[in-house]
Amino acid sequence: MMTGLQWPGAAIVVSLAISLAGCSPAKEPAVAEGPPQRASSSELPPPPPPPVPGPNYHGNGSAIAVPGAPDISGLDDAQIDVMFDEAVARARPGEGKQAICVGLQGLADGAVKDAPERTIRRLAELLRLPAFPASQCRADATPFVTATKAEAILYTVRVESRDRKGVLTFWATAVFGNLGAHGMQFRLIRQAGRWVPEPTGLSVLS
């Protein structure tokens, strides 16, 4: 049995350790000067996400009305006023709303058009906000005025039908956001010499 340095390989190990002790440390390889090397595409970090739009951000938006006069045949000013009063009753302009957009879809219209100028002026005075024809507005997160990007509330009336007695059925709607709208269906009947909106029980809420 061998002990201590009697193991034949021990002398080799000691000799190697002595020779290494006398060596100077190895120098770092020189770095070639020049522009930094670009990392491969697989090594690049992913780009940061786009900034979150602020509360008043508006892109191009979507059209909400067709320019032009609506079909108001058979309607008088008093009827139109009552119908739009119901639209305003669904929701009044909240904080941050800077304008009103107003549209009307008559019985013969295939889409919402601009409300009569008289109606637009009336709502501007009633709500004390600038009012615009609906075709001058668009919508994304909220309705807005195309020219100024001012955040708006959209009021629309859609005349759905007129029966043999001349009774109108219409929808009055307020839209204040992409997921914010309130509409109700009414019948417009004549009582005691004035027009009275009578709810049918149908409504939409989002």
pLDDT of the residue at 37:
52
Query: What region does 124 belong to: left with phi over 0, alpha with psi -120 to 50, or beta?
Result: alpha
Q: Where would I find the H helices in 56-193? A: 77-90, 117-127
The tens digit of pLDDT for each residue in 144-193 reads 999 999 999 999 999 999 999 999 999 999 999 878 999 999 999 999 99
Question: What's the pLDDT band for 17 if we cut at 50, 70, 90?
Answer: very low
Which whole number is the average pLDDT over 96-100?
96
Q: How far is CA 184 from the centre of its chain?
A: 23
Integer Cα distance of 195 and 13 in angstroms = 113
